[in-house]
Structure formats: C-alpha cells, structure tokens
Amino acid sequence: MIRDAEVLDEGFVPNDLQHRDAELTHLESTLRPFADGAPGQSIIITGPTGAGKTVTSKYVTGQLTDAVPNIQTVHLNCWRSHTQFRAFYSILDELGLATDIHRGSTPHDELISRLEAYDGDPVVVILDEADQLDSTDIFYDLHSLPKFAQLIVANERDQLFGRLNSRLQSRLQSSEHVPMSRYTPEELVSILEVRVRWGFEEETVSPDVIERIADAAAGDARVALGMLRRAANYAIREGHDEITFDVLEAAMPDAREQIRQRNVDALNDHQRTVFDIIRAYGPLSPQDIYEHYEAKMSDPNQLRTVKSYLSKLTEYRLIEAEGSTRDRTYRAVQSQ
C-alpha cells in the first residue's frame, strides 16, 4: 500500500511547496541581499500549528543554498534546545565548532565569543518553535552578528514580543514579519493529494477519504498527515488493501491520541507542570494555576511566562480556555 513512507512524514520538504507563494516571495526577497553579501537580519514567521511554518522555512533556505552554495543553514528545534547554552551549542556543533566544548564546564560567554569570531560562509539560522526558548537573549546575540541571519518561527508575534525587553523589542520591531494562516480545507485536500500520489500505490486512498481527513484536521497539516499515516498503518495491520471510510474512522481516535501524546512529551518541565496542574485541578484561573505552579517548582518563572505557557498549551490543543479575558479559566482537553 505505502510506496514511499518519507513523503507521508510531516517533516518532508516537497520539491514544489503549495499554497505559500506570497510567503515564499516575501522570504526570498528579504534573504536575497544576505546571500549577496549584505549583513544578516532577523525575519519573524508566525502562524498557528500546522500552517506550514517549518516546511516553508526549510524550503526557502533550501532554495537559497541551491542558488548560492556558500550559504549555510542551521535548523534549531527549540523544543529540544530550549536553553541558551543548548541553542548556542547546537549552532556551533552544526558549524563544526563545538568539538572541544564541554556542556558542564564551558562558560556561556565562550560560546558567544566563538560565534562573534566566526568568519566562514554566511549562515541562516532557523529558530523553530522560538517561543519555547527559556531566554530570548539569543535573538539579540544573533541579530548583532553580520554573518548570521535568523528566521524566528513562532505562533504569535504579540506573544513573542511580550517576552522581549525594551532593548530587544526596538531591535526586532523593524524586522520583516511573514504571517501565515491555517490552510483552508481545499488547500489541505490538494496537499494531501500530492502526498497520496507519491506515497501510496494507486487507488488505495479515495478522494472522499482525503476530503474527510482535510475536514477533520481543521486547517492543521500536521494533524492531516498524522491521520493519513495512522489510517495507513491501521489498514496494513488489519489486512486491508485500501483506506476506506471505515478504516479512517477506526484509526482517527488513535491518530488524535498519538498527536496529543507527542505534544505532551515535547513539553519542558515547567510547561508539563502547568499542564499536570490543569489536568488535576482544572478549570482554574491563571492566578490559581500560578499559585499551584509556584508551590511545586523550586525555580518558578514569572506569571507572564506561565501565561505564555497557557497560550502554547492551548495552541497545541492540550488545554482550552473558557470565559472572557477577565474571568478566563483553563481546563484540560479530554482525550478522544
């Protein structure tokens, strides 16, 4: 049934990126001067989960490095590298400059000094899920280095700027901003059709099934691809030679739970604590959540940071908000 499993992965970057022409043009025109020798700059890419921010960033940098071979790209997953040290170490490691760095003893300033001293090919750093970083100082450090351009990928610009100090806000205020919206059901259908054409044997996924997946995914390409993969695995396991409506409906709860668990597993310790509090005691107001959180953590962050966690958990559909802004409460989304 499956011809090429890689095509069905959410991280796969296609040769032809659909429905992001305006965003690609904006990014390409902004990065072109850097490729031609101008100092690096910061570009902010925002949008909801599953809107194609990561694949668009990888696609445009891939096109750039194909056209200008001396440009390097570093993709930093800020879910995993969420501390300043890990972020800088990952960048240096990608550039081959971290061989003698010791994670337990090398001073943070030494990592910055190495980046400042870097005199190789220009580097585009994709800070993916940048709102997961414990500190936003890395934006300032990279912004000040002419050999580096940064693509800051996050869910919401206002939320991201709310974490910045006044110095950094003024630096990034004039940065190019590339907003991305959720895909329409029709756009998701065409994206899935291409993945099905390349990833499956012929006549194993009907157009009606593709439309049902696109409708259920609610504009989120990650969810759509997750449902498609899970339905294929279910069909193979049960001995079916195609994905029927019955197969899809049987696989959907498992697909949703898998996506949910993946998001839970990716949370850092502070976010996981907030999520566990809401799951155990919700619905709770932000202040009540913070009081529980502050009592549980030996190194609690500020209320403002915890509110950003609430936005992130809501974006990933792990919790949901109820009520107006003034009397808002949060509760865990029940597994389906």
Task: Look at residue 274 in the predicted model and tell me its pLDDT.
Answer: 97
- What proportion of the chain, given as a percentage, has pLDDT over 90? 65
Shared domain check, 109 and 45? yes
Task: Look at residue 104 in the predicted model and tell me its pLDDT.
Answer: 67
Whether residue 69 is contained in a domain is answered as yes
Task: Look at residue 163 in the predicted model and tell me its pLDDT.
Answer: 80
More confident residue, 44 or 301: 44
Q: Which DSSP helix (H) or strand (E) runs through 251?
A: helix 245-265
Domain total of the chain: 3
CA distance 208 to 193: 11
CA distance 223 to 217: 5
In this structure, which long-range contacts are made by residues 165-170, counting pairs with CB atoms below 8 Å and at least 24 apart in sequence?
A: 165/136, 167/140, 168/136, 168/137, 168/139, 168/140
Shared domain check, 119 and 100? yes
Q: For position 236, which CATH number holds?
A: 1.10.8.60
Whether residue 8 is contained in a domain is answered as no
How many CB atoms sit inside 10 A of residue 206's CB? 15
Whether residue 248 is contained in a domain is answered as yes
pLDDT mean over 263-267:
87
Shared domain check, 194 and 328? no
Task: Look at residue 108 in the predicted model and tell me its pLDDT.
Answer: 80
CA distance 76 to 84: 12
Q: How confident is the model at residue 255 (pLDDT cuts 50, 70, 90)?
A: confident
Task: Look at residue 132 in the predicted model and tell me its pLDDT.
Answer: 85
Whether residue 274 is contained in a domain is answered as yes
CA distance 129 to 77: 7
Q: Which of 228, 256, 284 is the last residue of a domain?
A: 256
**Res 240 pLDDT > 90:** yes
Shared domain check, 194 and 149? no
Task: Look at residue 71 in the predicted model and tell me its pLDDT.
Answer: 92
Q: How confident is the model at residue 206 (pLDDT cuts 50, 70, 90)?
A: very high
Angle value at C-alpha 117, between 133 and 96, nearest 5 degrees: 70
Closest CA to 105 of 87, 85, 91, 90: 85
Q: For position 109, which CATH number holds?
A: 3.40.50.300
Shared domain check, 169 and 312? no
What phi, psi does 242 have (nearest 5°)? -155, 160
Shared domain check, 190 and 170? no
Q: For position 300, which CATH number holds?
A: 1.10.10.10
> For the segment 53-109, what is each residue's pLDDT rounded down to a tens digit?
999 999 999 999 999 888 999 999 998 888 888 899 999 999 998 888 887 677 888
pLDDT mean over 16-45:
94
Shared domain check, 210 and 98? no
Task: Look at residue 177 in the predicted model and tell me its pLDDT.
Answer: 95
More confident residue, 266 or 211: 211
C-alpha neighbours within 13 Å on the C-beta side of residue 229: 18
Task: Look at residue 56 in the predicted model and tell me its pLDDT.
Answer: 97
User: Residue 105 belongs to what domain range?
Assistant: 20-179
Shared domain check, 227 and 172? no
What phi, psi does 73 have (nearest 5°)? -125, 135
The mean of the pLDDT values for the chain is 91
**Res 205 pLDDT > 90:** yes
Shared domain check, 274 and 170? no
Give me the residue label for tokens 């498992």: 254
pLDDT mean over 197-204:
93
End-to-end CA distance of the chain, in Å?
A: 27
Q: How confident is the model at residue 262 (pLDDT cuts 50, 70, 90)?
A: confident
Residues 6+ apart with CB under 8 A from 15: none
CB 161 within 8 Å of CB 172 = yes
> For the segment 210-230, what is each residue's pLDDT rounded down to a tens digit?
999 999 999 999 999 999 999
pLDDT mean over 103-119:
85
Whether residue 14 is contained in a domain is answered as no
Shared domain check, 280 and 322? yes
pLDDT mean over 294-313:
90
Q: Which of 179, 204, 232 is the last residue of a domain?
A: 179
Shared domain check, 174 and 39? yes
**Beta strand ranges found along 78-122 (DSSP E):** none
Whether residue 15 is contained in a domain is answered as no
Q: Which of 256, 279, 296 is the last residue of a domain?
A: 256
Q: How far is CA 83 from the centre of its chain?
A: 16
Q: How confident is the model at residue 23 (pLDDT cuts 50, 70, 90)?
A: very high
CB 293 within 8 Å of CB 272 = no
**Res 281 pLDDT > 80:** yes
Q: Which of 105-109, 133-137, 300-304 shows the lowest per-residue confidence on average (mean pLDDT)?
A: 105-109
Q: Which of 45-54, 213-222, 289-298, 307-316 shows the lowest per-residue confidence on average (mean pLDDT)?
A: 307-316
Whether residue 196 is contained in a domain is answered as yes
Whether residue 303 is contained in a domain is answered as yes
CA distance 319 to 143: 34
pLDDT mean over 251-262:
87
Shared domain check, 250 and 161? no
**Res 336 pLDDT > 70:** no
